[in-house]
Chains A and B, each alone.
Chain A
Amino acid sequence: MKFNSVNLAAWGFVAPALSVIAMFFAVPVLAGLALSLTDFDIYALASWRNLRWVGLDNYWHVLQMPLFWKALGNTVYFVALGVPLSIGLSLGCAVLMQSKLARFKPLVRTALFAPVVTTLVAVAVIWRYLFHVKYGLVNYALLSVGVDPVDWLGDPTWSMPTIILFAVWKNFGGNMIIFIAALQAIPEDLYEAASLDNAGPLAQLRYITLPSLAPTLLMVSILTTAGYFQLFAEPYVMTQGGPLQSTVSVLYLMYDEGFKWWNLGVASSVAFMLFLIIVGVSKTLQWAMARVGRQP
């Protein structure tokens, strides 16, 4: 009797959250899968009677779209360069912050972390101005060391690197905090023993710090990679996908297909392909790290 009332109350506790998640997340995800198998477009939006079941046609169609491959290439470029840079910078700063020589730690930590909490759209606006071809400070600084002005966001060669730099600046602080905590968890006596064996700082980094950080590194890599694959607001605000579609990302393509052209069936298939890619890459990372870990 007692157990039952607790049981009932417990369902009362979880019901609000679970119904929100079921209705506004689980159902739409399943509906999205169904949607990706239909030809839902602007006519179907007007009347559901115009809706037809098309099987995997949307996926086939998307795979034949040159813009999809362009967007995928851009996104992979963003992930492949952005994730290592971002994690490398986080780790570097965390290691320096952990040093006994570092001063004003709380202040420096707050300064490094501040970009993480800022509103992406607002800081993207700032960066667009910083990297302005004529009045931007970046070109001014480069000119003073003899580099000719670069049209950062207007030149297809430089647009994606600029966005990568922006994302790294915006995000590295978050992972840095996680690395600092992981570094603090490494027992001090490991380093003391290494010092007694005459291991220098670099050897200590290689044989103690990095191996102890491996699980954190794996988790951070997976989360960061998954997050970077979802690139959207940066190009939306900074370049509108241009110039010459050099910053169209997969999610940007999904947004355009779905909410600009109302091809919701095609857009859903793009969303699911992105999801599959993210899962595939995460699993590969996990597998690769496990292999590296097993080697002596």
Chain B
Amino acid sequence: MNFLVGTWLGEWLTGLGRITLLARDAIASGLTFKFSRRDLLYQIYFIGIKSQSVVIVTGAFTGMVLAAQTYFQFHKVKMDTATLAVVSVSMCSELGPVLTALMVSGRVGAAIAAEIGTMRVTEQIDALRTLATHPVDYLVVPRLIASNIALPLLTVEAMAVGIAASYVVGVHLLGIDPTYAWYNMLKYSNDADVMIGLIKSVVFGGIIALVGCYKGMTCGLGADGVGRATTEAVVYASITVLISNFFLTMVLEHLCVLLGL
């Protein structure tokens, strides 16, 4: 494998290996409850509560535009009342978790990488280690757990707001019959769609926290290094979310069929 040393592929594989080891270490540490409960609560507040405005606006306008576009196409074939069903299924299984993850990765992933990166260049991470504190226990685990808790809650919020906004646009602005729209939405949406969305959001939460922490902990020295780590955290987390979303959709949908859900 020496031919890979120094190549783009070699560096990418090394990074993948390191982030996998970081994930293993963080999960093992999380299971032993070495993290501070206070830090966990603060991270839930920072990742969950402080991201709400972004997620609500994103969910609402995505639901609204999706309702409008679906209506414009369905109206041509006189399927107006199926509009909310399409919005509901899309918001629950795809757009809700993915858009929430992308917005949170922009806000939280960048903040995590910048904070940990600054700690690295100012020797604060070395100081943690000299104080007999493992950086993974103190920095990574609370962020990982908080992200895994906050993302599903934010996703549910985005789903609900998106569907509500699409109802307002569809029924009150575009004149869809509310009874049939509501009936079709309930008929074609099912629990499995919501479950798929929630499972995805837990995975995306892990990706955002781990990529942010990894980029921060391995950032180059100086302001340039922190800036680059911050940008890379957002870009890599977003791309990973989009790529993993495809595979999660394929696996989870097949699983639902197998389980008869």
Physical interaction between A and B? no
Residues of A at under 8 Å CB distance from B?
none
Measuring CB to CB, which residues of chain B are less than 8 angstroms from any residue of chain A? none
